[in-house]
Homo-oligomer: A and B are copies of this chain.
Amino acid sequence: MASSLRIALAPGDGIGPEIMAATLDLFAAAGVTRLIEFVPVAMGKSEFERGNTRGMSEDAIRTVEDCGVLFKGPMETIKGAGGKSINVTARKLWNAFANLRTFRTLPGVETVYSRAGVNLNLTIVRENIEDTYGGVEHRLSNDMIQCKRLISAPGSDEVCRFAFQTARRLGVTRLHCGHKANIMKMTDGLFLDRFRAAARDFPEIEAGDVIVDALCMNLVMKPQQYQMLVLPNLQGDIVSDLAAGLVGGLGFAPSANIGKHISIFEAVHGTAPDIAGKGLANPAALILSGLMMLRHLGLTSHAATIENALLAALEQGVHTGDFGGGGVSSGKPALSTKDFVKGIVERLGSKPATVPPVPVPEASTHALLNRPARPAGQTVIRTFSNVVRHVVGCDIYLDTPLSPVSVAEEMQRIAGDTPFKLTLISNRGTQVWPTGSVYTECVDYYRVRFELRDTLRPGDFGQSPCVALLDKIAEKFEVCSYELLRTFDGVKGYSMAQGQ
């Protein structure tokens, strides 16, 4: 017999320990714990309380990195202690760049949609690192705060390719990219471009795209039209939770965070402190997340056996207090966490009758995790390496309550003997100079754009005259922000203002 594989285990806070214990009981009954050794790690509330702003001990970090897989229950992030969400920290720390979630109509879980006879089987891949989740925010004037939304080509490549690979593995035939490239033309335009570039390597999968607001409407009206989606981080966050609602809520929505080296399998619902310790919580999402983990480790026969038993139990009205009560569970008592799992254990080997059972492959004899060697240091991932870049100007951002006209006068004076001319002033993205509307309301934060005079050509200068101009303007104004304007292979690397 092969030796067992070590997996880091963090039961979590609130209802976490009890749903984790029930899940492990089920996994033990299915023979999983002969092949996997779960190694407890210290993460969550207790670590925050010890003053660890990351919410995890150094030892926990080491163990997770040794194991390559973390199975975790819900955790509490202590507010106000300066700590960031432990879930976000874990994803970023270990570069688990893809959030993979599946949303399926389950028998016995009544929803508006199940009652209407609408069956869902939707997989969502959400980019997990970038977008506004970098948390890079600055107060740029008394009245204006900025958050940077960052989208990179290699980050988009990684998550889009992962989505196509997953589609191929799952036998999904159609993958849609959700985005807002009609408004965020450059950032989401890049995400969409990289999606299309990835699509070329997966010709058997139909690749489509859909604007995120239309997507949300479509998901509500006719969710069965989508098989699989890939989205940038924030949009993916919103759409995933919407999809969870379609199948009965976070209690039935498993989640995996996949990285090259380390992956995290977790229930994304809360810690439900109101019912914690009472043995009443619903472990379904954690069990389903665990099944994703078993499949990640090659234990597909164990996963299929457990899943069929779970489906059989649900369709026979086995339920905890948070769902059921109508339909097949009508008249059947709400079970405790332990009895709910007992209902599944009793059905191990059975198959569901009202929904298609999951095919059970030949029994796996050992768990397997293929992962690259631990890197010696951070890797720099790249998509575009050979690009000809030319400086063509700069955007300078002023913290001032002056009127647009006054700002324009000052700027033209200051730029007088530089290689640049003032071409634009905008406020909150709307042009206010050289033309603009008297109805535009301004705040105390202006963008001032300088571009090369007509006699000069891109590449005539590097960035130094831009910095010199910034220097001159800073003598008179508070410069809260600055961006270099360049062309990349002849294409402008910056957007126009609204109304320009």
Contact = CB atoms under 8 A, between A and B. Distances in A.
Interface in A28-75: 54, 65
Given A95-B441, A187-B147, A377-B405, A486 B216 contact: no
A166 to B, nearest CB: 19
**What is the oligomeric copy number?**
2
A373 to B, nearest CB: 11
B380 A186 contact: no
A275 interface: no
Interface string A126-149: 000110111111111011111111
Interface string A337-377: 00000000000000000000000000000000000001111
A374 B219 CA distance: 44
Nearest to A487: B139
A261 interface: yes
A412 interface: no
Interface stretch (A289-297, A300-308, A311-319, A424-432): A424-432
Contacts of A2: none
A225 interface: no
Contacts of A380: 401-403, 441-444
A238 interface: yes
Interface stretch (A6-14, A113-121, A195-203, A452-460): A113-121
A330 interface: no
Contacts of A428: 129-130, 134, 150, 152, 155
A173 interface: no
Contacts of A484: 140, 478-481
A229 interface: no
A81 interface: no
A184 interface: yes
A24 B358 CA distance: 58
Interface stretch (A276-284, A414-422, A492-500): A492-500
Interface residues of A, number: 139
A170 interface: no
B483 A140 contact: yes
A92 B498 contact: yes
A446 to B, nearest CB: 10
Contact of A235 (B133, B144, B238, B382): B238
Given A88-B498, A187-B145, A440-B93, A403 B432 contact: no
A124 interface: no
24 contacts: A85-B182, A88-B183, A93-B439, A132-B180, A135-B495, A135-B496, A135-B497, A136-B447, A145-B152, A145-B186, A145-B190, A146-B150, A147-B187, A148-B149, A150-B445, A216-B241, A217-B250, A262-B439, A375-B438, A464-B474, A467-B470, A467-B471, A467-B479, A471-B471
Given A92-B430, A146-B187, A147-B186, 15 more contacts: A84-B498, A92-B498, A93-B499, A95-B441, A112-B220, A138-B395, A138-B483, A142-B382, A147-B149, A216-B216, A217-B245, A235-B238, A378-B404, A380-B442, A481-B481
